[in-house]
Amino acid sequence: MQFEQVRAVLAAFEREQVRYVLIGSMALAAQGLVRATRDIDFFVAPDGDNVERLKRALHAVFDDDSIRQIDAEDLAGPYPVIAYGPPGSDFTIDLVARLGDAFEYDDIEAEELVVAGVRVRVATAGMLYAMKKDTVRPQDRADAANLRERFGLGDG
């Protein structure tokens, strides 16, 4: 994944005023815990106006007609994750509106950071920890342990 492409997406989201929160490994990196990844994860508000802004932002970066297939009803539906793979790229952009019954967009605690000159809404370290600590995926558990150690987080 090329950092300049990620920066372009983040800048386009800012220009279009997309309601999003950066989560996953890129959010970890913004919080100072860098690890390799092949995707960028965004929690997004699934309302129609926001999804239209999101599509305009993505289209400004990737001249790809398949972006039109991203749909607010899909994000608000029973499978609230859309993976978009830009043509010719070696990464995906995961758009998440809900994680099971545990988290919805409005549940995500975020802070605004400036990354490479772009304002970015990033999940807080505590939020990332809460999202990762109880999952079954080994990488999430490792991320949670790193967050706990780096930021002094815990359950009690």
The pLDDT of 121-148, averaged and rounded, is 95
Mean pLDDT of the chain: 94
Share of the chain above pLDDT 90, in %: 87
Domains of the chain and any CATH numbers: 3-136 (3.30.460)
pLDDT tens per residue, range 5-30: 889 999 999 999 999 999 999 999 99
Residues 117 and 132 sit within 8 Å (Cβ to Cβ): no
In the chain, what is the greatest distance between 2 CA atoms, to the nearest angstrom?
A: 49
| Band of pLDDT at residue 3, cut at 50, 70 and 90 | confident
Residue 150 has which token pair? 């780096």
Q: Which of 113, 88, 115 is nearest to 3 (CA)?
A: 115
CA 14 to chain centre: 14
Instruction: Give pLDDT, residue 155.
Output: 67
pLDDT (average), residues 101-127: 95
H or E segment and range at residue 30? helix 24-30
Residue 127 pLDDT greater than 70, yes or no = yes
The answer to whether 43 and 21 are in contact (CB under 8 A) is yes
* pTM across the whole model: 0.95
How confident is the model at residue 1, as a pLDDT? 59
Q: Is the pLDDT of residue 151 over 70?
A: yes
Q: Given pLDDT bands bounded at 50, 70 and 90, which one contains residue 36?
A: confident
Task: Report d(CA 121, CA 10) in Å as an integer.
Answer: 9
